[in-house]
Amino acid sequence: MTEDHKKVLLLVEDDDRRAAAIKACIPPDIHYVWTKSAGAAVGVLRRDKFSGIMLDFDLYRSAHADGRLTGESVAAVICETQGRACEIFIHSQNPSGARRTFELLKQSGFSVEQCPWSAEAVKPLKCWLDELLDLS
């Protein structure tokens, strides 16, 4: 696989424990970037292209958090900066925020899955990763 076609993931998650659980689902040979705030995610999205993005909605735990920026703000920048081949997995536990983010991305032509994070979300996330990374 050439560097140009390498699969790179973005994890947008401000909770360290949840991020650790999600990162444990990512195969060890897959490169990923982890951002802990919406502002950091926006900066990375403006700089890099991703194959897949795992997105939270409530992003207020980070010391660098800007209370005005949410997963929906990140989704708007995804729409501006990422190709429609980029796939999205929304793992937010915020039902209304996750739904708004899902609709924004879906209406913009992205492939989006939504599953609130819990122990039961590990299997859907791994399936999503397997399909995205063509590991099946």
pLDDT tens digits, one per residue of 95-106 = 999 999 999 999
The pLDDT value recorded for residue 119 is 92
pTM (2 d.p.): 0.90
Query: So what's the pLDDT on residue 86?
Result: 96
Burial per residue of 65-100, b for 16 or more beta-carbon CB atoms within 10 angstroms, e otherwise: beeebbbbbbbbbbbebbeeebbbbbbbebeebbeb
Is pLDDT at 69 greater than 90 in this prediction?
A: no
Cα 55 from chain centre: 3
Residue 118: how many CB atoms within 10 A of its CB? 11
Go through 38-52 and write b for each residue having 16 or more CB atoms within 10 A of its CB, e for each that does not.
bbbbbebbeeeebbb
Could you tell me the CATH superfamily of domain 3-133?
Response regulator (3.40.50.2300)
The predicted pLDDT at position 4 comes to 42
pLDDT > 90: percent of the chain: 80
* DSSP letter for each residue of the chain: --GGG--EEEEE---HHHHHHHHTTS-TTSEEEEESSHHHHHHHHHH---SEEEE-S---SSTT--TT--HHHHHHHHHHHS-TT-EEEE--S-HHHHHHHHHHHHHTT-EEEE---SGGGHHHHHHHHHHHHT--
Question: Using one digit for the tens of pLDDT, what is the confidence trace for 13-42?
Answer: 999 999 999 999 999 999 999 999 999 999
